[in-house]
């Protein structure tokens, strides 16, 4: 297992408990062979890989020449291995050697539904961990070897490297049509924690010791199947927790029943009106007006551009066309209650 790649750029966020899509315990089980870790490319990954050269070219307009390392499908791709930690390596999307700071670059292609995650120069935490880890591993490699190897075995001497990267750039293509260049500064404190967590995780895999729960890890990930013959343990220190949860469940049931009864009475009082007020409170029961587009009436060029039609994405990216082809419909009534100011 020591010679197998265990930790890479995309897994730094997992072992630090920052990835909402995969827990550290599940990744640990993949590494020791308990569960299947086979990789299957989906549609989003395919298009992300296809768009990557175009995004790199767009980044070069701002950063200068970017050297490539290749991707996982390229037989000439070059992974950068940590010089002392076996099993730790990264595959960079590029290194902007044409820039004075010579930062490493990472390319992402995301849908319009992820636009908010990449706004105001912010990035998702697990991608923040990815580039901080890439800087850590690449720094360690260059400081030891004084060279760097690029795609197709092109080797360049790095004699004037300051020892640390100042930061990294994300080139992000949003919805296939909006480019964002986001700079992330080197975070020494974060990298120190990342290195500690990485060493701990590697030791867990080597010794086959289940890592402690952290961050996005859930109890369900740790305790999948009980030992049905083990019986019930006597655990006095959890008595207060058990009592609190039991009492809460006991109180919630009648509260929910009373809540439903109150809402019914108030809705009856509202009737065909849109709301009532009294005693410093206002309750409304309205039908929202929703603007929507009937795809059947859209011009073919717009339909082809949005093969998997998304109302929200279309509205954001083409507001004029949306207003032109949309119609108003009345949604289901929604009940709300607020205290008057």
Confidence band, pLDDT 50/70/90 cuts, at residue 308: very low
Do residue 27 and residue 171 come from a single domain?
yes
Structural domain includes residue 235: no
User: Do 105 and 23 meet the contact criterion of CB atoms below 8 Å apart?
Assistant: no
- Which domain-ending residue is among 169, 191, 221? 221
- Tell whether 240 is covered by a domain: no
Band of the pLDDT at 223, cuts 50, 70, 90?
low
> Is 50 among the domain residues?
yes
Cβ atoms 126, 103 nearer than 8 A:
no
Query: Confidence class of residue 306 from pLDDT cuts 50, 70 and 90?
Result: very low
Find the range with the poorest average confidence among 70-79, 156-165, 216-225: 216-225
Lowest mean pLDDT among 96-100, 137-141, 270-274: 96-100
Q: How many CB atoms lie within 10 A of CB 126?
A: 21
Same-domain check for residues 217 and 266:
no
Residue 242 within any structural domain of the chain: no
Return the residue matching tokens 């039991």.
Answer: 246
Residue pointed to by tokens 């993949």 = 30
**Total domain count for the chain?**
2
| pLDDT average, residue stretch 184-206 | 94
Burial of 284 (0-12, 13-18, 19+ CB in 10 A): middle
Average pLDDT on 231-249 reads: 80
| 236: in domain | no
Q: Which residue has better confidence, 122 or 108?
A: 108
In terms of domains, do 70 and 125 share one? yes
Any domain includes 230:
no
Question: Is residue 234 one of the residues assigned to a domain?
Answer: no
> Which pLDDT band, with edges at 50, 70 and 90, does 302 fall under?
low
Q: Of 109, 98, 90, which is closest to residue 67 (Cα–Cα)?
A: 98
pTM beyond 0.95, yes or no: no
Position 296 pLDDT exceeds 70: no
139, 145 in Cβ contact below 8 A? no
How much of the chain, in percent, has pLDDT values that exceed 90?
A: 37
Highest mean pLDDT among 43-47, 75-79, 233-237, 307-311: 43-47
Higher-confidence position of 76 and 185 = 185
Do residues 156 and 294 share a domain?
Answer: no
Query: Does residue 246 belong to any structural domain of this protein?
Result: no
Strands 80-81 and 89-90: antiparallel
The average pLDDT across 310-328 equals 73
67 in the same domain as 129: yes
Same domain, 287 and 199: no
60 with 171, same domain?
yes
Kindly state whether residues 66 and 168 are assigned to the same domain.
yes
C-alpha angle 177-117-7 in degrees, rounded to nearest 5: 105
Same domain, 164 and 302: no
Cβ atoms within 10 Å of 341's Cβ, excluding its own: 5
pLDDT computed for residue 2 by the predictor: 40
Q: Are residues 180 and 282 in the same domain?
A: no
Structure confidence at residue 85 (pLDDT): 93
- Burial of 296 from C-beta contacts in 10 A (0-12 / 13-18 / 19+): exposed
Q: Rounded mean pLDDT of the chain?
A: 83
Residue 292, domain extent: 262-339
Do 75 and 198 lie in one domain? The reply is: yes
Q: What share of the chain is helix, strand, coil (3-state, %, to 5)?
A: 45, 20, 35
- 34, 95: one domain: yes
CATH number of the domain to which 99 belongs: 3.90.320.10
Number of H helices, E strands in the chain: 10, 13
């Amino acid at each position: 297992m020591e010679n197998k790649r265990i930790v890479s750029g995309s897994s730094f966020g997992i072992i630090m408990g920052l990835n909402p899509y995969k827990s550290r315990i599940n990744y640990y089980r993949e590494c020791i062979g308990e569960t299947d870790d086979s990789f299957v490319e989906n549609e989003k990954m395919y298009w992300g890989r296809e768009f990557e050269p175009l995004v790199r070219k767009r980044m070069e307009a701002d950063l200068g020449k970017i050297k490539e390392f290749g991707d996982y499908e390229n037989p000439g791709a070059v992974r950068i291995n940590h010089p002392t930690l076996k099993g730790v390596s990264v595959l960079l999307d590029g290194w902007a050697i044409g820039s004075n700071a010579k930062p490493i670059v990472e390319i992402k292609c995301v849908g319009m539904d992820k636009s908010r995650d990449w706004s105001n120069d912010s990035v998702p935490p697990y991608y923040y961990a990815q580039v901080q880890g890439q800087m850590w591993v690449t720094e360690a490699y260059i400081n030891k070897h004084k060279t760097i190897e690029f795609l197709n075995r092109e080797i360049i001497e790095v004699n004037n490297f300051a020892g640390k990267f100042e930061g990294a750039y994300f080139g992000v293509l949003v919805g296939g049509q909006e480019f964002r260049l986001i700079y992330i500064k080197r975070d020494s404190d974060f990298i120190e924690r990342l290195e500690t967590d990485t060493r701990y995780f590697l030791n867990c895999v080597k010794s086959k010791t289940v890592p402690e729960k952290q961050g996005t890890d859930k109890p369900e990930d740790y305790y999948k199947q009980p030992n049905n013959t083990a019986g019930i343990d006597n655990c006095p220190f959890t008595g207060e927790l058990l009592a609190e949860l039991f009492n809460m469940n006991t109180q919630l049931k009648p509260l929910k029943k009373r809540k439903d009864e109150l809402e019914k009475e108030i809705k009856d009082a509202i009737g065909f009106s849109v709301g009532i007020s009294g005693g410093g409170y206002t309750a409304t029961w309205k039908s929202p007006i929703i603007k929507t587009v009937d795809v059947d009436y859209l011009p073919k060029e717009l339909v082809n551009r949005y093969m998997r039609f998304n109302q929200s994405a279309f509205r954001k990216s083409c507001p004029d066309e949306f207003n032109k082809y949309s119609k108003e419909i009345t949604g289901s009534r929604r009940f709300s209650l607020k205290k008057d100011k």
